[in-house]
Amino acid sequence: LNVLINQQRQQQQQQQQQQQQQQLLYWQQLLSQNNSTATPAQNTNQLAAAAAAATQQQQQQPGTAANQHRTTRMVWDASLHLRFQRAALSLGVDQVTPKALLQALQEPWLSRENVASHLQKYRWVSQRTIPNHRV
C-alpha cells in the first residue's frame, strides 16, 4: 500500500513539474514574442494559438482529489495578457499596484486577487528571463 501511495505522489509531482515547465515556457514565449519585429496582429494570433494549446493541454490532464475542491482557475488569454502588460508598463511595473491595474484593465469579472497573482508571476518571470534585470 505504501508503495502505491509513493508512486501516486511521484506521478503527481511529475505532473506538477511538467505543468510548471509548460507555464514557464509559455511566459517566456510571450516575452520573446513581444520583443520581436512582428506586427501586433501577428503577435496576437501567435499568442492566442499558444494560449489555446496550453489551455487544451491543461484540460486534458485529469484532476486529482485535492484539485476538485478548488475554485475555477482563471486563465489569462493572450489578448488580456497583452492589455495587462501594456497597462503595467505604462504605469511602471515597479510601482504599479493590483488595484491600479484592475482599474486600467476595466474588466468587471476580474478580481484584485487575480490581478495581484498575475502581476507577481509577471514580475518573477521578467526577472528570470532577462539576466541582471530588475523589473
Question: For 13-65, how does the pLDDT look when each residue is reduced to its tens digit (9 = 90+)?
Answer: 888 888 877 777 777 776 676 655 555 555 556 656 666 666 665 555 555 44
- The shares of helix, strand and coil residues in the chain, as percent rounded to the nearest 5, are 70, 0, 30
Cα 38 from Cα 84, distance rounded (Å): 19
**Residue-level pLDDT at 46:** 61
Residue 108: pLDDT band with limits 50, 70, 90? confident
**Residue-level pLDDT at 102:** 93
Q: Give the predicted TM-score (pTM) of the model.
A: 0.46
What is the arithmetic mean of pLDDT over 90-115?
Answer: 91
